Structure 1
Amino acid sequence: MTDWLDWPFLEDRHRELYARVCDWCDSNDDDSHHDDVDAACRALVASLGQAGLLRLSVADRDKIPDVRSLAMTRALLASRSGLADFAFAMQGLGSGAISLFGSPEQKAEWLPRVASGETIAAYALTEPETGSDAANIAMTARADGDEWALNGEKSYISNGTIADVLTVFARTGEPGPKGISAFIVRGDDRGLSVAERIEVIAPHPLARLKFNGVRAELLGSESEGFKVAMQTLNLFRVTVGAAALGFASRALQEAIAFASTRKLGNGTLADHPVTQANLADMATAIDASSLLIARAAWQQDMGKQDNRRAAAMAKLHATEEAQKVIDAAVQMHGGLGVTKGAKVEELYREIRALRIYEGASEVQRQIIARDLLKEHRQ
């Protein structure tokens, strides 16, 4: 994952960041399966905060996060530890709406604490009956003096079991996207409870949350919540592809190392033409994803054009191809590939969710196609 350091999309500061993140990874080498995921995430957030890496994911003096820095960090973290990438990414996503739309007072209260690792953030959009159909969320919010009261449920909320602050989306008006507003909720509010801890194939602190008259503070303007949600997701969409790139790159490394030592006849597995063809396909898919991610991140940082199509392409290609790369690595490992404790088995579980969250692959295809058709009609 070093050849792209010299690409024109990156600057010297990104190359310096690469070294910093690698140093953190070397000092926090953790490939283990965690019995207490909540405690592990808290420790990772604290460590990333102490290293100054979480400052990359929050606004700095009204300047939004640098997407190239986020993407590089996620790719490197994911290549070492899926949980470390998760901890880093959720601090950004959970506070992203505050970075983009928060008042000066809201930014001053929350962003330094998120950046230091003192406060754990969460992003609460998904509901039990609405996944990709975010425009039709059912949670309600009613004005109550200077605050709002939230009632309803959110589901599959990352950091839901440990969050200190949550960005929550609720309905304040008419059906559809125009009736949604965004809110800031404190994790210790007495009306907020964990209704269910959700266990998934790659252990993360996910939960279904119950809101019973939860006190909330309006984030941005009333009825612009859908825009807040979508712009926040768009800010971090490319970085999901970067995490997939990290997983895929690690899978290729594991496959090369295994094939080079696995005896087969008078040689090794790496000497076999089929293995070589598979390795070539894996490397080509990874490089293609790298280029799409670099382009999309650079466009987003330059701010010169609407990059929704490029971001969607980057996420779609990187996550879908990473799934294939990791599957090929598992296949190459044979029985060891599906044995708990093997790195490729862990990667196989980690990659699957990336094709779903922050915009499923089907949604990304819709974004790309609609943008192409819109361009054709102009």
Structure 2
Amino acid sequence: MSAFSLEPRQIAWCAELRTLAAERLRPLAEKGEPGRVNRALVAELGRLGLLERLFTSGAVDLCLMRASLAYACTEAETALALQGLGAHPVHAYGTPAQRARWLPRVSEGTAVAAFALSEPGAGSDAGALALRAEAEPEAARPDGSPAADLGESPLAAPDGPSQWRLTGEKCWISNAPEADCYTVFARTTPGTGARGVTAFLVPADRPGLTGAALEMLSPHPIGSLVFDAVPVTADDVLGEVDRGFRVAMGTLNLFRPSVGAFAVGMAQAALDATLAHTAGRDAFGGKLRDLQTVAHQVAEMALRTEAARLMVYAAATAYDQGAPDVPKRAAMAKLLATETAQYVVDTAVQLHGARALRRGHLLEHLYREVRAPRIYEGASEVQRGIIAKELYASIGEAP
């Protein structure tokens, strides 16, 4: 695939996905409860084979799936994306036992995954994580339970701790508190910034783990988590101890361009709705499209949407090819696409007038959906910082 065009088979697949989203996924989405995990929808994504593709395809296919589903059913897109975000660390960094336990269930849609990075005091600044993972010598465990109770290997981590207790909070976590497993990032070495963070795979039924749903502007499930001395072991570590930041960034470098794809799908839906509306709406003795100011706004919407689409494809292609500038491209794609979608949806609402503000209208729905992507997985300001850092690093200077 070129970074600037799609192959015929990919175009056909995107059309098929849009049809599936409209005919099979949207009816299930409409039956769901806002702010709650829609397990019937997740299960259907599994039956259609889309969840499995999260772990068998590259970044380009991920972007094509997200953009196509977003066009016709944002709830289905988000359900798919959250499964990928929560379970990709298991796929990329997990042990054979971790993969065998969770990936088949996530792929089937019978288990819901979540990515637990943000905290009340550490959102975009992932290096400021405060959730503590305190090493616990086996002999000192307050409940006296043996290591085998949690499934540890007696050979785990011979040169370091083999069990910890997680204490603290996570906030703004998609799929919380209803997920079945969480990729959790906790501080194992105090005072070391990003270098002292470890990623753990934590089943939801671990003692001491509780949570609550949060009522948010966007309709997908988001909640908080409280860790009250939650036990984890060396067998729960994803990757290496104190190198969890690598797990987080490796995951985000894949999913940031695909957030851009989600945004492009929403922008295209808003653009197409606006084309139909302005072509048919009577105004001032003609059609809305006959007004130059309207036609120019529609042209600007199309221009920005196509530019964002191309940058998303370029970033995804760079990821699949192992290019060295993936962090910069991923940040650029997410930044441009999410800011573009905000502009396109807002302009579409303006051109539709009051009807677009009515509950249940496509644009009312998109208006609520489009705001959050400019914040999650690194706010727009963070993306600009990443871009600048990468640019200066390329010439050997720090910003």
Q: If the length of structure 1 is used for normalisation, what is the TM-score?
A: 0.92
Q: Check the 8 A contact 2:25/2:76 in 1, yes or no.
A: no
Q: Check the 8 A contact 1:33/1:341 in 2, yes or no.
A: no
CA shift at 1:377, angstroms?
A: 3.4
- How does 1:283-362 map onto structure 2 within 5 Å? 283-362=302-381
What is the rounded CA distance, in whole Å, between the counterparts of 1:187 and 1:296 in structure 2?
34
* Structure whose alpha-carbon radius of gyration is higher: 2
Q: 1:365 to 1:53 in 2, by over 3 A?
A: same
Aligned counterpart, 1:181: 198
What is the rounded CA distance, in whole Å, between the counterparts of 1:12 and 1:106 in structure 2?
37
Which of 24, 43, 51 is the equivalent residue of 2:20? Answer: 24
Which of 193, 204, 210 is the equivalent residue of 2:220? Answer: 204
Name stretches of at least 5 consecutive residues in structure 1 with no aligned partner. none
Aligned counterpart, 2:280: 261
Q: Check the 8 A contact 2:35/2:219 in 1, yes or no.
A: no
CA shift at 1:47, angstroms?
A: 0.5
Q: 2:110 is paired with a residue of what secondary structure? A: coil
Which of 27, 39, 56 is the equivalent residue of 1:42? Answer: 39
Q: 2:307 is paired with a residue of what secondary structure? A: helix
Q: 1:377 is paired with a residue of what secondary structure? A: coil
What is the rounded CA distance, in whole Å, between the counterparts of 2:110 and 2:174 in structure 1?
17
CA shift at 1:218, angstroms?
A: 1.4
Q: Check the 8 A contact 1:41/1:84 in 2, yes or no.
A: no
Aligned counterpart, 1:215: 231
The alignment status of 1:128 with 2:120, answered yes or no, reads yes
Q: 1:70 is paired with a residue of what secondary structure? A: helix
CA shift at 1:13, angstroms?
A: 5.8
What is the rounded CA distance, in whole Å, between the counterparts of 1:174 and 1:165 in structure 2?
25
Name stretches of at least 5 consecutive residues in structure 2 with no aligned partner. 139-151, 153-162
What is the rounded CA distance, in whole Å, between the counterparts of 2:323 and 2:64 in structure 1?
21
Give the letter for the 1:54 counterpart. Answer: L
Q: 1:37 is paired with a residue of what secondary structure? A: coil
What is the rounded CA distance, in whole Å, between the counterparts of 1:171 and 1:72 in structure 2?
35
The alignment status of 1:101 with 2:93, answered yes or no, reads yes
Q: 1:303 to 1:87 in 2, by over 3 A?
A: same
Aligned counterpart, 2:157: none
Question: What are the Cα deviations for residues 105-159 of structure 1, in whole angstroms up to 9, with x where unaligned?
Answer: 2111111111111110000010011111111111111234444321111000000
What is the rounded CA distance, in whole Å, between the counterparts of 1:7 and 1:179 in structure 2?
37
What is the rounded CA distance, in whole Å, between the counterparts of 1:330 and 1:241 in structure 2?
21
Q: 1:142 is paired with a residue of what secondary structure? A: strand
Aligned counterpart, 1:111: 103
RMSD of Structure 2 on Structure 1 (CA) = 2.0
Pick which of 46-55 and 197-206 moved more.
Answer: 197-206
Residue-pair matches, total: 368
What is the rounded CA distance, in whole Å, between the counterparts of 2:10 and 2:51 in structure 1?
15
Q: Check the 8 A contact 2:210/2:227 in 1, yes or no.
A: yes
Q: 1:269 to 1:197 in 2, by over 3 A?
A: same
Pick which of 122-131 and 214-223 moved more.
Answer: 214-223
What is the rounded CA distance, in whole Å, between the counterparts of 1:366 and 1:213 in structure 2?
35
Question: What are the Cα deviations for residues 275-334 of structure 1, in whole angstroms up to 9, with x where unaligned?
Answer: 110110000001101110111111111113331111111111000011001110000011
Q: Check the 8 A contact 2:166/2:229 in 1, yes or no.
A: yes
Which of 143, 150, 157 is the equivalent residue of 2:173? Answer: 157
CA shift at 1:16, angstroms?
A: 5.4
Q: If the length of structure 2 is used for normalisation, what is the TM-score?
A: 0.87
